[in-house]
Amino acid sequence: MGSGNADTHAAGVTGMCAGDVSGSGTLPRATETRRKRGPSLNRRTGQAGCVFQNSKSWRPTAPCYGRFWIDVPGGSRRQKTVPLGQCVTRSIARQRLREHIEREGVNCKAAFYQNTAPATTLKQQSERWIESLSTRTRRPVKPATIAGWQEALNAWILPNLGDRPLAEVSNGALRELVGKMTAGRLSPKTIVNYVQVVKLVVASAVSDEGDEIYPRKWNHDFIGLPIVRRDKQHRPTVAESELEDILSGVKGRYRLLFALLAGTGLRIGEALALKPPDFGPDCRVLHVRRSIWRGQEQEPKTPNAVRTVDVPEELAQFIRSRMPKGNDYLFSTGKRTALQHRNVLRVLHGVKKVGLHAFRRFRLTWLRRNSVPKDLERFWMGHAPEEVGDLYSNLKDDASFRAMWCEKVGLGFKLVSDVSENAFAA
């Protein structure tokens, strides 16, 4: 009897479960777990504050106080009490408290974002910033620039400020950093560049709405930021006699490379990226379409760097006699890869201790010495227009005019040439 009742009860329960499933077609939905909402200025209460006195009734001659909530770094909140002095009525006390809250920026959006943001150090933010530079859709940064900023971070910024929270990286922190870099005998230009990297990292921390979490008004006088005087900057160049000594002291592809740099004003990355198809008929013009940085092709430095450069006939003949066949780099290694910048610099330093940009400065000086039209000069050098007239002028589109000026100006140095030599010997 007992066993039968138990079996009947079990069957009934089974039938009920089966009926529920077949009736609704679905199992009962599980209770959804609500996502915890983050801090929101619109949902905050108590920001208007309250006023009180240490008495049961309001007394016009008694001191009164205001109490309100403030956000503190890390996302927490605490109450703050401020004295309001003597107020005849409660309404006057409330008005004074509102003025105090507004004056202190308690309810402003910037302070809210700054205090409720997760505690992030300068090192952590710099890693996120560096990672975003090459992938952002608007004005992506070239690898060479990113590498320079990373070197600045590794050399001085992170060792001195890396562990500081972003909220504490302000004028005082930069003042300490500038003092250390000055004591380390860094040049004014280098110090200015490194400080700019710190500013970019701090500004890269933004809210979900794109507002800066840690807006700063930088005080360069307080920081002690040095003033860069362009007339005091070191810009080494080469004279005509020194250039001839350099060409006499090197052989093969390096003689051609240094002559090309001095005769056209190309940047070293632009020259190393040249291929035979980049040259026009008889090598009288060359087209700058790409650049080389650490063995990898990239776009030229700026949009103005994509250009056509006219070549004097003397240099064009020198190039024609040494032009390799195929589509390999004009200055390539045995593995058909582009020459490395550091290897070229090592060869140059074997003859003269000067940077590769000295050839570009030599060409620009020679163009100005021969009164080349400014818009044509900027076009050949790949510089940006400086005035509206540069945009209006179409001289750069006049090939015959460019060729005439190119031949009139010439090279400015004696081309050391030996046609019998193997131009591309190592």
Q: pLDDT tens-digit profile of 47-66?
A: 678 999 998 899 999 999 99
42: helix, coil or strand?
helix
Rounded Cα gap, residues 396 and 382, in angstroms: 12
Confidence of residue 425 (pLDDT cuts 50, 70, 90): very low
| Mean pLDDT, range 349-361, rounded to an integer | 92
Confidence of residue 426 (pLDDT cuts 50, 70, 90): very low
Using one digit for the tens of pLDDT, what is the confidence trace for 188-246? 999 999 999 999 999 998 887 788 888 889 999 999 999 887 766 667 788 888 999 99
Cβ partners under 8 Å of residue 369, min gap 6: 412
Cβ partners under 8 Å of residue 346, min gap 6: none
For the chain, the residue count is 426
Percent of the chain with pLDDT over 90: 51
Cβ partners under 8 Å of residue 254, min gap 6: 344, 347, 348
- Count CB atoms within 10 A of the CB of residue 426: 9
What pairs with residue 288 in β-bridges? 307
Eight-class DSSP state of 136:
-
Rounded Cα gap, residues 381 and 78, in angstroms: 61
Phi, psi dihedral angles at 422 (to 5 degrees):
-80, 105
**Fold entry, domain 240-409:** hpI Integrase; Chain A (1.10.443)
Q: Is there a contact between 382 and 301 (Cβ–Cβ < 8 Å)?
A: yes
CA angle 384/260/413 to nearest 5° reads 100
Percent of the chain with pLDDT over 70: 82
Confidence of residue 4 (pLDDT cuts 50, 70, 90): very low
Where in 278-414 does DSSP place strands (E)? Answer: 285-288, 291-293, 296-298, 307-310
Q: Is there a contact between 311 and 265 (Cβ–Cβ < 8 Å)?
A: no
- Count CB atoms within 10 A of the CB of residue 95: 14
Eight-class DSSP state of 35:
P
Q: Residue 410: which of 309, 320, 315, 318 has the closest Cα?
A: 315
Cβ partners under 8 Å of residue 72, min gap 6: 78, 115
CATH number for the domain whose boundaries are 122-232: 1.10.150
Confidence of residue 267 (pLDDT cuts 50, 70, 90): very high
CB-count exposure of residue 76 (10 Å: 0-12, 13-18, 19+): exposed
H/E stretch holding 34 reads: none
Q: Is there a contact between 334 and 414 (Cβ–Cβ < 8 Å)?
A: no
CB-count exposure of residue 138 (10 Å: 0-12, 13-18, 19+): exposed
83: helix, coil or strand?
strand
Enter the tokens of residue 328: 């390999």
Rounded Cα gap, residues 161 and 151, in angstroms: 15
Using one digit for the tens of pLDDT, what is the confidence trace for 94-105? 999 988 888 877
- Count CB atoms within 10 A of the CB of residue 264: 23
